């Protein structure tokens, strides 16, 4: 469960966000520069709002009045960045194990293989990010974030850099993964069709303000 209400002054406008998501896909849709990515950064703890509250399950990770500001590494938030942000000097396997502690690696030695298998990229595990395709990078980024067993998942334009064919395949897959993991996915896109296709709840944003909020 994710519940957030916060505001932040940006250079050209005031950003106000109010989100509530159960185990579903919440899509934030709007033109570029409307503040969508900033919302994700605030949720992840990479940027601090000027005021408000952010709650993930029963944990309050940010609350301006009590000066609570949990650092990103303790938020248990999975984040898939727009350009994937895979570590170029590590193999796919090392990338997806980066967020897994030593103890967990020992407790579940097959976890990495299972994850790669599920996403159909097991054969890529020894490759380096610069030698795999965009769709494959996207899967690796997703696998890497899921390996940390996050409580919510944030995806910033996860499909916009991909060609049409890869994109529709991954759209279905994303939906399936969300149903499997049963955690809130907050997905940012500028594409309204994609929002309609993926979202259980769609919030339209323009210049930092929510202009509509509907459930499908």
Partner 1 sequence: MSFDYTPIILSLKVATAAVIIVVLLGIPLAGHMARRNFPGKDLVEAFVTLPLVLPPSVVGFILLWLFGKNGPLGQFLTGVFHVSVVFNLAGAVIAAAVVSFPMMYQSAKAAMEGVDKTLENAARTLGAGELRIFLTITIPLSWPGIVSGFILSFARSLGEFGATLMIAGNIPGRTQTMPIAIYMANEGGDAATAMILVVIMTVFSFLVIFWLNRWSKRQQKGFIQEEGGE
Smallest gap from residue 45 Cβ to partner 1 (A)? 8
Q: Which residues in 59-78 contact partner 1 (CB under 8 A)?
A: 71-75, 77-78
Contact stretch for partner 1 (CB under 8 A) within 1-9, 62-70, 83-91, 201-209: 83-91
DSSP secondary structure string, 110-166?
THHHHHHHHTT-GGGTTS-GGGS-HHHHHHHHHHHHHTT--SEEEEESTTTTS-HHH
- Helices and strands (H, E) in the chain, number of each type: 7, 11
Per CB under 8 A, the list member of 3, 5, 127, 175 interacting with partner 1 is 127
208 binds partner 1 (CB under 8 A): no
- 180 HSE (CA, 13 A, CB side): 11
Q: Which of 1, 90, 118, 161 binds partner 1 (CB under 8 A)?
A: 90
The answer to whether residue 32 forms part of the interface with partner 1 (CB under 8 A) is: no
Asked if residues 191 and 29 have their Cβ atoms less than 8 Å apart, the reply is yes
Smallest gap from residue 184 Cβ to partner 1 (A): 15
Classified as helix, coil or strand, 73 is helix
Q: How far is the CB of 61 from partner 1 (least distance, A)?
A: 13
Query: Smallest Cα–Cα separation from 146: which of 206, 200, 99?
Result: 99
SS3 52: strand
Nearer residue to partner 1 within complex by CB, 71 or 109: 71
79 binding partner 1? (CB under 8 A): yes
- Looking at the Cβ atoms of 77 and 183, the one nearer to partner 1 is 77
Among 36, 93, 137, 144, binds partner 1 (CB under 8 A): 144
Residue 2 near partner 1 by CB under 8 A: no
The C-alpha angle with vertex 186 and arms to 145 and 102, in degrees rounded to 5, equals 20
The answer to whether 36 and 19 are in contact (CB under 8 A) is no
Stretch that binds partner 1, among 4-12, 15-23, 50-58, 143-151 (CB under 8 A): 143-151
Binding site for partner 1 (CB under 8 A): 44-46, 71-75, 77-79, 81, 83, 85, 87-90, 98-99, 101, 126-128, 130-131, 144-145, 148
């Amino acid at each position: 469960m994710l519940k957030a209400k916060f505001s932040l002054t940006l250079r050209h406008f005031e950003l106000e966000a109010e989100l509530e998501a159960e185990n579903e896909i919440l899509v934030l849709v709007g033109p570029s520069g409307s503040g969508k990515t900033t919302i994700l950064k605030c949720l992840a703890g990479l940027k601090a709002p000027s005021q408000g509250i952010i709650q993930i399950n029963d944990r309050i990770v940010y609350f301006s009045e009590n000066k609570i500001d949990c650092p990103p590494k303790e938020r248990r938030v999975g984040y898939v960045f727009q350009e994937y942000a895979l570590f170029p000097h590590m193999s796919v396997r090392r990338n997806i194990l980066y967020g897994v502690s030593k103890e967990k690696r020992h407790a579940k030695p097959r976890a990495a293989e299972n994850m790669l298998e599920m996403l159909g990229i097991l054969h890529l595990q020894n490759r380096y990010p610069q030698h795999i395709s965009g769709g494959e990078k996207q899967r690796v980024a997703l696998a890497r974030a899921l390996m940390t067993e996050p409580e919510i998942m944030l995806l910033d334009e996860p499909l916009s850099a991909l060609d049409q064919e890869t994109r529709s395949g991954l759209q279905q897959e994303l939906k399936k993964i969300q149903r499997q993991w049963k955690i809130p996915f907050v997905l940012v896109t500028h594409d309204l069709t994609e929002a309609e296709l993926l979202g259980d709840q769609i919030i339209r944003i323009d210049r930092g303000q929510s202009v509509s909020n509907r459930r499908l």
